[in-house]
Amino acid sequence: MLKVTDAVVRYGAITALHGVSFEVEQGEIVTLLGANGAGKSTTLRMLSGLHAAQAGRVEFEGRDITKVKAHELSSLGIAHVPEGRRIFPQMTVEENLEMGAFTRKGSYGEDLERMYGMFPILKDRRKQLGGNLSGGEQQMLAIGRALMSQPRLILLDEPSMGLAPMIIDQIFRIIAEIRDGGTTVLVVEQNASQALRLADRGYVLENGRVVLADDADRLLVDPRVRAVYLGEEVSTEEPASSEIPSGE
Amino acid sequence: MSTEMRVHLRRWLSFFAMAALIAIMTGPSGSNNAPVQGLTQSFAQPYSYFGLFRAQRWMIFFTFALVALGLQTLWRRSGGGVRARTAVLRQGFEAPGRRRATVLSAVVVVALVALFIPHLISNPGIQSGIVEQVLAYVILALGLNVVVGWAGLLDLGYVGFYAIGAYVTAWMTGRLPIAAPFHHPVSSFAAIPVAIVFTMLAGVILGAPTLRLRGDYLAIVTLGFGEIILVFSNNLTNVTGGSQGTNPYIPSFTFRIGGLKYLFGNVGYYFLVAGFVVVTIVLFRLLEHSRVGRAWTAIREDEVAAESIGINPLKYKVMAFAIGASVSGFAGAVTASQIGVVYPSTFSLYFSVNVLTLVIFGGMGSIVGVIFGSILVQGIAVYLRFYPPSGYQASDLYMYLGALLIMMMIYRPAGLIPSRRRRREIYQAEDGIGHEGDVLLGEQS
Ligand SMILES: Nc1ncnc2c1ncn2[C@@H]1O[C@H](COP(=O)(O)OP(=O)(O)OP(=O)(O)O)[C@@H](O)[C@H]1O
Ligand SMILES: [Mg+2]
């Protein structure tokens, strides 16, 4: 469905991605892992057209989207939830969701109801301003807004960032639900163990290169992954709630 | 009486009321000592030949009312559709209870005051001062509000478009040293749409490459644009007439129908421009709540998020910029025909700053605020011009306005009547909520 080949991205003199390649198949959850500065956000920004790739190729459903602009993606069927849950702070929850349907023609009332079914908390807060929501609620709103465009692929950049463990669990359950609803998911995470438990496959980025690519359950037990990304964890059997999300 | 009859009766009455209104609006001015005289003469004065008939003014207008009534019946039969799209205009009037009463009475009071002003002021200088310094500035401020208040772009070259609008009018009417585009110079009324198109194009041409720039760079580019236009209008003497201004006088608007001719004098201009103000308000109110308006809000609040949901920021910024530009050009065209001369000295940076001040003073993004802010500030300016306190000099005005603005920024930072959303943005930005980096520039991350 999505195929990235040898993508190179530079920020001035700094090369953030040195030829990254990976693939996402329809119906999968794929996770991109990596330490701070590995190039995860850069990859998503490149995919979503916010930053152009200097070399390489991105294909979506067989179509070259390397040069497609950020605002053109949503009508192609890709939704991007940028890092830092950028909701519209002075719009109400409902207005935020409605804005998500901006490129769609026709009515979206049904989808609005679907979002409220998926995120009951947003229904309670529908008249509240986005900026006054808690971090977790904002993340849900950002995801809900992205889903309003009825994407076939959704890109999530660190949805668990800075959230309490209980909320993270909830967000991850929702991600699974999104996939079950027929939308393919590419999720960037630092929270490696949880992301790998959720995902079908994973890629590990290091200094702008893919260093590991495998099925998620294999990566989860891979000694290299365990050493670098799960190193702080004493035992894999620990419930997720013992994890401290590494903020930025 | 059956409901149907009542509806009919209401329609008839409202049309004849409108005819009477137009009679008053186009009638002679009153005077301080006999304000009613203007009103009575509006009806009684024998006026003109209407086709073959010699008719009194009121007969002419009532004939128009009948025609309008017929047209309206046809329009109704041809279906609705407009109703749904203009729902936002009736919001206040159809709201329940107290809000409705407030809106209604506010509109009635404003309309009545506006209607009687030219009949209570007999000084023609003040009358035309109100038109060119207050009403025209309301339109100008409403246009800049689209750019600054809604799209969050700082435009310091607003005057450039005003100048282009004015010169296009002079050109179309054959008042420039260069030849008019048509063999027969057209009327200044016909110059209006041309001025709008030209300035809109100028807005697109200037905006498309520069609106990629971030807030402060954009301000500098637009500032430069305004100055370039000023230099051109001063120095391109064989095109613009230079600092001496255009020559001969640009004709005032005239209106001809049948054998009827109406030359817009001070009162005529007053009501005409007031009418333009109303049209501008209606259009912008629709715009504010349209898809485009929502896109502007989204871009202002978070440009990256706006892009991620499929909004092309550049497209909507250029749109806002071009709309602002064309409104400025429109005001330039109207004012040029009213004053009759286009002088480069009008087009200084101060002009742009003046209009920007009105927008900030009234409340960025708020139509009502911008209107009242402009009326108040510009009203004070006109008042001081005609009734200067002893020792007052014309340039003192800016000192007073500056002080007023500083007070406002301290006590009402969001403006006189802020828009609800804008006020929240400002206070939230103070608390560090949201991505709004700079309130005025609307610059993001
Ligand atoms: N706008 C920018 N200008 C210059 N360098 C940048 C820019 N954005 C990112 N970088 C650099 O590119 C590299 C990759 O950054 P990126 O944001 O993709 O990392 P990340 O994997 O998302 O990290 P994190 O987990 O902290 O979000 C880093 O070295 C970063 O400093
Ligand atoms: Mg990142």
User: In which domain, by residue range, is B297 found?
Assistant: 131-393
Give which of A24, A34, A50 is closest to A153, Cα–Cα: A24
DSSP A38: S
A82 CB within 6 A, ligand 1 = no
pLDDT at A227: 75
Question: Most A CBs within 10 Å: which of B150, B307, B312, B425, as the mutation test of the A interface?
Answer: B307
Strand partners, B284: none
For residue A10, is it within any domain? no
- Whether residue A1 lies inside any domain: the answer is no
> Looking at the structure, do residues B267 and B361 belong to the same domain, yes or no?
yes
Q: Is A36 in the pocket of ligand 1 (CB under 6 A)?
A: yes
Tell me what pLDDT residue B257 has. Answer: 67
Which one of A86, A127, A153 would you mutate to disrupt binding with B, by most B Cβ within 10 Å of its Cβ? A86
Is A88 in CB contact (< 8 Å) with chain B?
Answer: yes
Burial class (CB in 10 A: 0-12, 13-18, 19+), B407: exposed
- B219 and B301 co-located in one domain: yes
| B298 found inside a domain | yes
Q: From ligand 2's centre to the CA of A171, what distance in Å?
A: 18
Q: Are the beta carbons of A3 and A58 closer than 8 angstroms?
A: yes
Nearest to B309 among A49, A90, A149 (CB): A149
The pLDDT, as a whole number, for residue B114 is 86
Q: Is residue A7 one of the residues assigned to a domain?
A: no
| Positive or negative torsion for Cα B137, B104, B290, B418 | positive
Q: Does A37 contact ligand 1 (Cβ within 6 A)?
A: yes
Ligand 1 pocket test, pick from A10, A33, A36, A41 with the greatest ligand atom count within 8 Å of Cβ, gives: A41
Residue A240 scores a pLDDT above 50: no
**CATH number of the domain residue A181 falls in:** 3.40.50.300
Q: Are residues B309 and B183 in the same domain?
A: yes
> Phi, psi (5° rounding) for residue B171?
-70, -50
Are B63 and B199 part of one and the same domain?
no
Residue of chain B whose alpha carbon sits nearest to that of A146: B309
Q: Does residue A152 form part of some domain?
A: yes
Question: Are B138 and B60 found together in one domain?
Answer: no
User: pTM of the predicted model, to two decimals?
Assistant: 0.85
DSSP class of residue A240 equals G
The residue of chain B nearest to residue A155, with distances taken between CA atoms, is B308
* Confidence band, pLDDT 50/70/90 cuts, at residue A236: very low
pLDDT for residue B258? 62
Q: Please report the pLDDT score of residue B429 as a whole number.
A: 60
Q: Is residue B204 part of a domain?
A: yes
- Cβ(A58)–Cβ(A52) under 8 Å? no
DSSP state of B176: S
> Which tokens is B114 given?
């506006």
- Provide the pLDDT confidence category of residue A130 given band limits of 50, 70 and 90: very high
Whole-number Å distance between alpha carbons of B38 and B23: 10
CA angle (A68, A74, A77) in 5-degree steps: 95
Phi-psi map region of A87: left, alpha, beta (phi>0 left; psi -120 to 50 alpha): beta
Q: Is residue A70 part of a domain?
A: no
Token readout for A170 is 């909830």
H or E stretch including B316?
A: helix B313-339
Residue A85 zone, left/alpha/beta (φ > 0; ψ -120 to 50; rest): left
- B185/B282 same-domain check: yes
**Scanning the structure block, which residue is given the tokens 């701070």?**
A36
- pLDDT tens digit string along B431-440? 555 444 344 4
From the CB of A39, is ligand 1 less than 6 Å away?
A: yes
Judge whether A55 lies within some domain: no
Residue written as token pair 């585009």? B181
The verdict on residue B3 lying in a domain is yes
What was the pLDDT predicted at A233?
46
Mutation test of ligand 1: which of A9, A15, A17, A42 has the most ligand atoms closer than 8 Å to its C-beta?
A42
State pLDDT tens for residues A47-106: 988 888 999 999 999 999 999 999 999 999 999 999 888 999 999 999 999 999 999 888
Beta pairing partners, B281: none
ipTM value, please give it: 0.86
Q: Which residues of B touch A73 (CB under 8 A)?
A: 308, 310
Structure tokens at B272: 């005409």
CA B97 from centre of chain: 31
Are B89 and B286 a contacting pair, CB within 8 Å?
yes
Domain assignment present for A58: no
The answer to whether residues A77 and A152 touch, using CB atoms and an 8 Å cutoff, is yes
**A51 chain-B contacts, CB cut-off 8 A:** none
Q: Quick one: B157 and B12 in the same domain?
A: no
Total number of domains in chain B: 2
Min Cα distance A88 → chain B (Å) is: 6
CA distance B416 to A149: 38
- DSSP-assigned states of every residue in B116-135: HHHHH---HHHHHHIIIIII
Instruction: Name the token pair of B35.
Output: 């304000």
Ligand number nearest to the C-alpha of A45:
1
The protein residue whose alpha carbon is closest to atom 22 in ligand 1 is: A41
Domain count, chain A: 1
Identify the domain boundary among B50, B73, B96: B73
Q: Which two tokens stand for residue B257?
A: 């129908």
- Does B195 share its domain with B344? yes
Which residues are within 8 A (CB) of A22 and not within 5 positions of it... i.e. 6 or more apart? Answer: A4, A30, A32, A203, A210, A213
Q: CA separation (Å) from A248 to A83, A130, A161, A243, B104? A: 11, 22, 8, 15, 53
Domain assignment present for A203? yes
Nearest to A50 by CA among A38, A68, A37, A31: A68
Ligand 2 centroid to Cα of residue B402, in Å, is: 46
CATH number of the domain that residue B385 is part of: 1.10.3470
Is residue A4 within 8 Å of residue A58, measured between CB atoms? yes
Looking at the predicted structure, is the pLDDT value of residue A171 above 70? yes
In the prediction, which pLDDT does B32 show? 63
End residue of a domain, out of B393, B413, B433: B393
Per-residue pLDDT of chain B (445 residues; tens, 9 = 90+): 678 888 888 888 888 888 778 777 777 766 666 666 666 776 765 555 555 556 677 777 778 788 888 887 777 766 555 666 667 777 777 777 777 788 888 888 988 888 888 777 778 888 889 999 999 999 999 999 999 999 999 999 999 999 999 999 999 998 888 887 777 778 888 899 999 999 999 999 999 998 887 767 888 999 999 999 999 999 998 888 888 888 888 888 887 766 667 778 888 889 999 999 999 999 999 999 899 999 999 999 999 999 999 999 999 999 999 999 999 999 999 999 999 999 999 999 989 999 999 999 999 999 999 999 999 999 999 999 899 888 888 888 888 888 888 888 888 888 888 877 666 666 666 655 544 434 444 333 3
| Structural domain of A166 | 26-49+77-243
- Mean of pLDDT over chain A: 89
